[in-house]
A and B are shown apart, each in its own frame.
Chain A
């Protein structure tokens, strides 16, 4: 067939496109994979239901039990306050690290370095033993006279120590998350804002941060889920969050597996709630990017 034939043959088909029928591609391996997956899921479910070791009756008995509910509340408190304080810290540390001032830069850099290096559990034990290091704390002129004195032990309860540890730890991570969001914003945006004479703080709040949020949110949500689980570490300070509480119960009753499942299922549920929340928050900050 010559070139001319090809050219003349095109209009024939192009003239009657309604004659052409679309046949979707076949995916036989998809069916195989689906079947395998279904069998595996069925086996797992069967094992969960029939194996008496899971002891679902005990699980059900403790799932909404009062002490468990209270402990769940403590977990939520630690997560919420830890995230709040942590991200407030991050909102201060990230701009410091990006500032032109060398001193602010180094302070922020050092903070992030130290608090990311020290394992959370080690840090928590340090804060709980603060009273051993400094018996009293005072507010006053640095290196000068003090005006207010506190007994460290009365000021820093074990809950306070746990929260302090989580928040300080979280701030280091949040700082990096916020920083990555800030640097992802086109510098010309700030230039446009500066050319309009928008005050510095307003530039940050109204122009930079909303755009940075797009990059911040997915990683921040990840970090929040991480924090939710990290709250279980504070059991070392004997704080009645959910992991500590189920340990107390199985220490008494000996039913380890169903009680671990109580904590596990609650963590899974809370993570699901966070994911739904994340979806809506991300959608809010993506406005203007969707067509």
Chain B
């Protein structure tokens, strides 16, 4: 279970997150919708502590992310410990961010630990799972955008994370490549992976999400099942947003 409690975040004078509370059940898929600049990426980055919060906290399966609690005080962890915590949280970027000097399989194994052979075998299994067993020796530049993003997903799964975060994983892709990435994500959801997904793919959200939350100007204005949020939104903001993306 992931608990986000009272998270505030500002960049200089700009308050981007204005008190976010969200609970994500283990094994569930949460889709975050919201207009550009509403703070979706920032929220995801706060969850794995790529961004520090000003107030509030995040817990992943009870473990406080980025801090250690002593009484009522939160002490920031040292970088080593934060890096260690991130191994439990996969992150898939809009721009893939594969390591261009490493092959697909090397990208997947880079952060893995353990005996070489076991690591290699597991990486190949993961590539197979995203349908790229035959591309293990290819460099990112030799792959299409959709293939690169699938390698990135395999890389994010390599550490058996408790949670995988997706920040607009299909936004940088040509339309005909979106489907192959969403298919992989759909399989992950079926297999019980806990996922938080920022996306504008409403069809995917409707089909796969257990919960949809709508973020606007740093606040969670609405939250519910796909049917609740997509078909009978309560807030004007949500309605206005959906009328734009559901044309």
Contact = CB atoms under 8 A, between A and B. Distances in A.
Interface residues of B, number: 30
B97 A188 contact: yes
A198 B111 contact: yes
B80 A196 contact: no
A199 interface: yes
A189 interface: yes
B86 A194 contact: yes
A188 B83 contact: no
A188 B139 contact: no
A197 interface: yes
A194 B99 CA distance: 12
A197 B102 contact: no
Contacts of A191: 50, 93, 97
B85 to A, nearest CB: 7
A195 B95 contact: no
B40 interface: no
Contact of A192 (B85, B99, B139): B99
A200 B79 contact: yes
Sort chain A's interface into a size bin: 20 to 34
Interface string A178-193: 0000000010110111
A186 B96 CA distance: 12
Given A188-B93, A197-B84, A197-B85, A285 B101 contact: yes
B141 A289 contact: yes
Contacts of B93: 188, 191-192, 195
Interface of A: 186, 188-189, 191-200, 206-207, 210-211, 285, 287-289, 291
Interface of B: 48, 50, 79-80, 83-87, 89-91, 93, 95, 97-103, 110-111, 139-142, 155-156, 159
Given A193-B111, A196-B87, A200-B79, 10 more contacts: A186-B97, A195-B50, A196-B91, A197-B87, A207-B110, A210-B101, A211-B99, A288-B139, A289-B141, A291-B141
Q: Which 5 A-B pairs have the closest CB atoms?
A: A192-B97, A197-B87, A196-B111, A195-B91, A288-B139
